[in-house]
Structure 1
Amino acid sequence: MLGIVAAVLFFISFLINAADISTNDVFTSTNFMLLGLMCLALHVAGIGSGWAARGRRR
Structure 2
Amino acid sequence: MHQPAPADDDPRPQPPEPPLPSDCCDGGCDPCVYDLHAEAMRDYRERLERWRRRHPGAD
Q: TM-score, normalised by structure 2?
A: 0.46
Q: TM-score, normalised by structure 1?
A: 0.47
Q: Which of the pair is proportionally richer in helix? A: 1
